[in-house]
Amino acid sequence: KAGVTQTPRYLIKTRGQQVTLSCSPISGHRSVSWYQQTPGQGLQFLFEYFSETQRNKGNFPGRFSGRQFSNSRSEMNVSTLELGDSALYLCASTISGVSTDTQYFGPGTRLTVL
Partner 1 sequence: QQQVKQSPQSLIVQKGGISIINCAYENTAFDYFPWYQQFPGKGPALLIAIRPDVSEKKEGRFTISFNKSAKQFSLHIMDSQPGDSATYFCAASKGNFNKFYFGSGTKLNVKP
> What does 1-26 look like in DSSP terms, one character per residue?
----EEE-SEEEE-TT--EEEEEEPP
CB 76 within 8 A of CB 21: yes
Of 65 and 104, the one with the shorter C-beta distance to partner 1 is 104
Asked if residue 25 binds partner 1 (CB under 8 A), the reply is no
Provide the residue count of the chain. 114
CB 103 within 8 A of CB 91: no
Asked if residue 50 binds partner 1 (CB under 8 A), the reply is yes
Asked if residue 94 binds partner 1 (CB under 8 A), the reply is yes
CB of 55 to partner 1, least distance (A): 7
Residues that bind partner 1 (CB under 8 A): 4, 31, 33, 35, 42-45, 48, 50, 55-56, 58, 90, 92, 94, 97-108
